[in-house]
A and B are shown apart, each in its own frame.
Chain A
Amino acid sequence: MNAALAIARSRSWRALNARLPLLLCVLALGIATGYPLAILFLQSVFPQILGGSLEGFLDAYRRIGETPDMLVLIRNSLAWAGATTVVAWLFGIPCGYLLARTNLPGKLWARLSLLVPIMTPPYIAALSYILVMQAGGFGDTLVGGLPEGLRAWFFSFWGVTLVMALSSFGYVALAVEATLSGIPRRFEDAATLLGASWGQTARRILLPLLLPAVFNSGLLVFLEALSNFGVPAVLGTRSNLPLLPAEIFYLVTSWPVDLALATSLSSLLCLFALFTLYGSRWLAGVLGAGEYRPGQASITPLSVGQRWLAWAFIGTLFVLSSVVPYAAMVLTSLAQTWGVGWPTLTLAHYTDIFTFGSRGLQALWTSLWLSITAATLCIAIGGYIAYVNVRASGWAQRFLDGLATLPRVIPKIVMAVALILAWNAPWVRIDIYNTVAMLLLAYVVIYITDALNYSNSTLRAMSVNLENAAAVLGASRFTIFTRVVLPRLKPALLAAWLTTFIVCMRELVASILLLPPGTDTTATFIFNQFEQGDLSVAMAMATVTIMLSTIVLVLFTLRRR
């Protein structure tokens, strides 16, 4: 009798033990992402819930529905993100085609020219463009007076769209290039042999096969634009173009704070993002290109005239997306006096930043250790969660999978607001809010997706038999993970570390919302100095940050060779 009980107990203990890692992961992610988002949503529905009352059910949403300004705001946000996507398509698709399907000379340079704007934080590009376009900016002092019409156009819907599209068309170009160069030329040959004209082949064969890439990259651009905080905050406000993320920010940070409205707008923003994601997945399923093995693509030779035209296109985009903003940034960081013509140059602003004990150096230091710690935590936790996720099954696994994909879609500003609510709530006894640890938590929660994604794809490609082989030899679960799984995961984790480090170094919105007063990261330093009119120091810091990220990136790339 006793023996039977012992066996039963040990059996259920073993079952629990086998599921323990999965449950732990669910618990961890549940607390980190699920709980804050749940609070955010509840708060938007029951505005008084943090005070312990269920009064005012749906009040905030009703207010949104009844305020014309709010509806305009929502419409603006969606229209702006849509316009950005279309412009990014117009810029990116031709670039992708030229890179994949023509004998354009200097493709390596063209590709590099696409990477520069991808690597540049959009808010820094926006700040630089303000320096060029504002009254008394470089456009006036160096070029000799901008037409007022152009200035007015720039500080409007389309100008803001242009800046955002310039910083994201590279995704479209690279995605289109990857797909186009993998569509085997046989597909087109077969059509041409059957008598199809160039146009028919393009429309019936190439376009349907290309559409998924176009949609997926467009989705990326749309979500990025919809949830981007920097450009709306920097440029939207100067262009009389209120956009959701910036408005949510002001509702949370400036008096009178309206958490109910902020959380309901945040929920709507999430809803749009989720809707876009699933809508485009559905669309991709409908348009479904079917699976095929990538092959050698056909290359169209360009005439001399076409080459010039192609390079004029790519060159113009490069000038607009990179040369102009970088020139403005570097020049401002070096400028001592302003006037008409070339400014007097000085390195004083850089010395300012690097002076021991200066706020700039502190901000740089904070950013560095925060980013390194966050990146390291992300790959440690993310790698493990991905492993558990890939090797598990059942409802808990599906739940974990859902939780893990959430931060990919949830706009960063929403996540930041949710974290504030969650850790500032009356029932939380840990004093984490208003410390730097809060920001570290936010970074990990927001950016763990890269580590999860990268590890997931490696792990899915890896046969379970590798682990089983070790298990047969009597290796423990820990040994299997450290000796068999980790070494194979290493390249993915390194790449994830690098990406996470770079995005954390430039993170603006969570930092600005969650940093305790008196502490800065590089991004908040740049943002605050700029808003306070200390343009040169802001731009010096921007230059230093970008250079730092680039150096780390180059070092990693060289070492991997």
Chain B
Amino acid sequence: MSYFLEARGLRKTFDGTTVLDDIDFRLERGECLVLLGPSGCGKTTLLNIIAGMLATDAGELHCDGDLLDAPARGLHQPMRERRFSMVFQDFSLWPHMSVADNVAFGLKVQGMARAERRRRVAEVLRQVQMEAFADRSPGNLSGGQQQRVSIARALAVRPRLLLLDEPLSALDARLREDLKVELGTLLRDTGVTAIYVTHDQSEAFSLASRIALMYQGRIEQIGAPEEIYRAPASAFAAGFLGVSNLMPYRRHNGGLRLGERTDIHWRLNGVPDEGQLMVRRESVWVSPSEAPANGCIALAGVCHRTNFLGDRHEAVVSVGEDGFTLRGFSDERVPEGTPVQVRFPAEAVHFLQR
């Protein structure tokens, strides 16, 4: 029970469809947990349950020794008592208040004295670099500026937990990149505990202490970003993060058989009997000329497309007679139909059972 926030067995059903199922996670003080998943997987619903806007149908939610939700015991702490705050995708700044009034609202509600409030508002606006805009009306600000104000509004009250629901999704690409970096700094500097919802893996990687990967209303995997990237627990996790190659395999004649016909040598200790073999695109090397294996797995194939990515080329290769395809990188443009060699180091291979 030493965790700051703990969810056990949360569940939510809307009109008979289960939107969240058996959600468990724990969060330590000062951590930033990113809920990452495709659109419609239930991220917002989970965040709203944590905020208290929705009541969970089952399970328990604890925060800092308080019991927030426990439907079995008829407990539901109203959202205004939770001392959380939230940043919304559409900013949701109150249009009839100035920037400073928006930020001051929560402090006013807490009954903070005027002078102290002014000081705090100025401080937070400085943190988000919006102090020059204090008297402006939110309607005259750009999207990025509005989101900064919205973040300031949420931080001003020093919330126990900061909830962010796709805060950067409504912004254009360049701005998103800048604000992402700033937000990372801000979260670290303020030391606030945060839950951040996004469908964008680059946001997740740069902001998360840990990522909870969600899929179809469940948490598919939870862990540090590097861990999830390196060792995805499922085909979904492997496919959702980064670009991966997945090949079905089974043990065969003391080695592995990929697909129906392609055999490779492999030391079988610890390898499950059958499942999927995963190797990241960046570990796959494609070249038209043969090179010594050097401890790599080498397969022969035919290149059927290359895409220029700026710093290198991506090559799509059909391997063996099965014709399963692999994506990898090559130094040069490989003409279509050229026979190529595909190589990847054995350490880059990861086995999946699901």
Contact = CB atoms under 8 A, between A and B. Distances in A.
B138 interface: yes
Nearest to A191: B105
Interface residues of A, number: 25
Given A189-B86, A190-B86, A196 B95 contact: no
Nearest to A196: B109
Contacts of A289: 95-96
A293 B79 CA distance: 25
Interface string A327-363: 0000000000000000000000000000000000000
A17 to B, nearest CB: 41
B236 to A, nearest CB: 30
A196 B110 CA distance: 8
B92 A190 contact: yes
A288 to B, nearest CB: 7
Nearest to A298: B53
A69 to B, nearest CB: 45
A289 B137 CA distance: 10
B84 interface: yes
B106 interface: yes
Contact of B157 (A189, A195, A290): A195
Nearest to B91: A186
Contacts of B252: none
Interface residues of B, number: 26
Interface string A187-201: 101111111110010
Contact of A194 (B52, B105, B139): B105
A191 B153 CA distance: 10
B95 A291 contact: yes
Given A186-B88, A195-B106, A209 B80 contact: no
A192 B79 contact: yes
A290 B88 contact: no
A194 B85 contact: yes
A189 B106 CA distance: 12
Contact of A290 (B105, B110, B139): B139
Nearest to B88: A186
Contacts of B90: 184, 186, 293, 295
A290 B96 contact: yes
B188 interface: no
Interface in B52-97: 52-53, 79-86, 88, 90, 92, 94-96
Shortest Cβ-Cβ A-B pairs, 7 listed: A290-B95, A194-B106, A186-B92, A292-B95, A208-B96, A195-B109, A290-B139
Contacts of B85: 193-194
Contacts of A287: 96
Interface in B139-157: 139, 153, 157
A196 B138 contact: no
A9 interface: no
B317 interface: no
Interface of A: 184, 186-187, 189-197, 200, 204-205, 208-209, 287-293, 295
B24 to A, nearest CB: 24
A200 B96 contact: no
A181 B85 CA distance: 24
B95 A193 contact: no
Given A191-B105, A195-B157, A291-B139, 9 more contacts: A186-B90, A189-B86, A192-B79, A194-B85, A194-B109, A208-B96, A209-B95, A289-B96, A290-B96
Nearest to A289: B96
Interface string B99-111: 0000001100110
A295 B91 CA distance: 13
A254 to B, nearest CB: 51
Contacts of A295: 90
Nearest to A192: B80
A355 B157 CA distance: 78
18 contacts: A184-B92, A186-B88, A189-B53, A189-B79, A189-B86, A190-B94, A193-B82, A193-B85, A194-B109, A195-B110, A196-B105, A200-B109, A205-B94, A209-B94, A290-B95, A290-B137, A291-B139, A292-B139
Contact of A193 (B79, B110, B138, B139): B79
B109 A190 contact: no
B139 A190 contact: no
Contacts of B86: 189-190, 193
Nearest to B89: A186
A295 B110 CA distance: 28
B109 A288 contact: no
Q: A184, A189, A193, A209: which has the most chain B beta carbons within 10 Å?
A: A193
Contacts of B105: 191, 194, 196, 204
B319 interface: no
Q: A291, A292, A293: which has the most chain B beta carbons within 10 Å?
A: A292
A367 B109 CA distance: 61
A127 B85 CA distance: 58
A204 B106 CA distance: 12
Contacts of B128: none
A197 B137 contact: no
Q: A192, A200, A288, A293: which has the most chain B beta carbons within 10 Å?
A: A192
B36 interface: no
Contact of A195 (B80, B96, B137): B80
B51 interface: yes
Contacts of A209: 94-96
A200 to B, nearest CB: 6
Interface in B218-257: none
A27 to B, nearest CB: 40
Contact of B94 (A187, A192, A197, A200): A187
Nearest to A185: B53
Contacts of A292: 95, 139
Q: B81, B83, B92: which has the most chain A beta carbons within 10 Å?
A: B92
Contacts of B51: 189, 193
Contacts of A186: 88, 90, 92
Contacts of A190: 86, 88, 92, 94, 153
A167 to B, nearest CB: 32
A291 B85 CA distance: 24
A289 B96 CA distance: 4
Contacts of B53: 189
A197 B96 contact: no
A184 B94 CA distance: 10
Nearest to B98: A290
B80 A193 contact: yes
Contacts of B153: 190, 194
